[in-house]
Amino acid sequence: MGKHLPAPSALGPEVRLDTPLRVDGDEQKPPLLLRVTAVACFVFPSNLVLEPLGAAGYVAHILALLVFALWVTSVMLGLHKTIDREHPGRFALAALFAVSCASYAAMYVGISGSTTDATRASADRWMLLMVASSGLVLVTTETTRTVDAAMMLVRALLRGAVFCSMVAAIQFTTHVDPMAWFQGVLPGFKDNGGNQPFQERGSFLRVAGSTFHPIELGVIASMLLPLSLWRALYDKSGRAWMHWTGTGFIVFAIAATISRSAVLGVLTVALVFLPFLPSRSRQWTVLGFAGAATVLFLAVPGFVATLFGSVTAGTADPSITARLEDYPRVEAMVSARPWLGIGPGAYLTRNAIEVLDNQYLKTIVELGVPGFLALLLYMVVPGIAAWLAAFNAKEERLKTLAAAVAAACLVAAPASAAFDSLGFPVLALVYPICVGLSGTVWLLVAGERRALGPTTKEQGASLAESERLP
């Protein structure tokens, strides 16, 4: 009898989970559309939008929606199976999506109070973001089925991140924004505003690269730093010095944001990722960070002092004081509508004082207590899942990849308490790709454990049990 062949998939060939490290050439590549979207998150300015689509019409968001459409089409035509690709991050996203739908419906039927054209448009944008995020999470996990495929996707993501970091380096050293040159390059797109490429801090101009804001750049660069280190250690394609140079640009971007959130992100990376590195690589990484700090101290007078001052300012910093003053106001709004909130994306401000620089506070106002819990799951569960995968992985590349993904995801969790992270377009699309990679490593480690069979301890217990049987 002939072997039963699986149906072809628009997302790529099905691969058994018990062969996690197999490589079958080009067939193992994640979809080109997914890789292009990863690069587009950084290369195309998010403030340039197609006018008919409004704020949701920036290039990377449109491509992410097409990724979701590709997934839906493949599943509906029976070309792709999705049910056997379940992982913790997927359930966390499903919880946030479900609560968002409930709050969205309540808003439109009038349960959440009066609405305006602006709040309804903002709610529509939030739901489109949920759709785009779902596409990125699902397609990343379901098509990135080997460590080599993960390397291909990480390469694409890092190409965009290095481009963004090089833009940040130009901004920091010349005080010129190269992204402004894109204004006349994309026909049909208009400047929707909202981006802040420069912001003063002390005697320095903190920069945003190709993102919306310096804080966003600092958090994203911190998220992608462990993936860049993993790529530099294990990528056999290209030249090693170029991989390490790219990592250096990302480190410089972290410093150039002069951001407390970025420093917190680097500490998170150190705690989560470094313990899983081989000892020699860990030693060189620590020495590299110490060398980078020394170079910044010597080359840019006052830079380290300014960064240290911003981290240790405490309540003397007006931005921290303003954040603390948000809590009584949020408590009053949540008390009024605790279960479904005022509607997804419906919290719009009239002045800077009312801005909620905290994604958790913004979500509990808009989606209620269930939305807050769902967001917490979305921000924490994928990172913990990847961290557990790192503990259980045996093969070195897979173990360090899982640790890098865990660090990337967990950077976003505390950072979201410092700014409304999902309101920033680059981070809002890069994070779902990291969640998708969390699913990838979770499934790869599960496949590795099945392929290796029971452990010696389990075999001994089974033998002892069989000896007791008559």
Identify the pLDDT of residue 6. 43
Q: Does residue 469 belong to any structural domain of this protein? A: no
Strands (E) located in 21-161: 48-50
Identify the pLDDT of residue 442. 96
Identify the pLDDT of residue 110. 86
Q: Does residue 174 belong to any structural domain of this protein? A: yes
Q: Write phi, then psi, for 209 (nearest 5 degrees).
A: 60, -130
CA-CA-CA-CA dihedral for 364, 369, 372, 377, to nearest 10: 180
Measured between alpha carbons, how far is 363 from 62 in angstroms, rounded to an integer?
24
Both structure tokens of 370: 């269930």
Measured between alpha carbons, how far is 291 from 406 in angstroms, rounded to an integer?
25
Q: Does residue 2 belong to any structural domain of this protein? A: no
The residues, any chain, with a CB within 8 Å of residue 456's CB and separated by 6 or more, are none
Give the range of the structural domain holding residue 306, as residue numbers without chain letter.
Answer: 27-449
Q: Token match 């792709």: residue?
A: 80
Provide the residue type at 410 as one letter. Answer: L
Q: Does residue 467 belong to any structural domain of this protein? A: no
Measured between alpha carbons, how far is 383 from 439 in angstroms, rounded to an integer?
10
Q: Does residue 315 belong to any structural domain of this protein? A: yes
- Among 416, 444, 440, smallest CA distance to 428 is for 416
Q: Does residue 144 belong to any structural domain of this protein? A: yes
What is the number of helices (H) and of strands (E) in the chain? 16, 4
Q: Does residue 210 belong to any structural domain of this protein? A: yes
Q: Does residue 12 belong to any structural domain of this protein? A: no
Strands (E) located in 4-98: 48-50
Pair 207, 197: CB distance under 8 Å:
yes
Identify the pLDDT of residue 2. 42
Domain count along the chain: 1
Identify the pLDDT of residue 3. 42
Strand partners, 205: 200
Pair 357, 78: CB distance under 8 Å:
no
Q: What is the pLDDT along the chain (470 residues), one digit of tens a residue?
A: 444 444 445 565 444 443 444 433 445 789 999 999 999 999 999 999 988 888 889 999 999 999 999 999 988 887 777 766 689 999 999 999 999 999 999 998 888 878 888 999 999 999 999 999 999 999 999 999 999 999 999 999 999 999 999 999 999 999 999 998 876 777 788 888 888 888 887 667 889 999 999 999 999 999 999 999 999 999 999 899 999 999 999 999 998 888 888 889 999 999 999 999 887 777 777 777 667 666 655 555 555 555 665 555 555 556 666 667 788 889 989 999 999 999 999 998 877 677 888 999 999 999 999 999 999 999 999 999 999 999 999 999 999 999 999 999 999 999 999 889 999 999 999 999 999 999 999 999 999 888 877 654 455 455 445 455 44
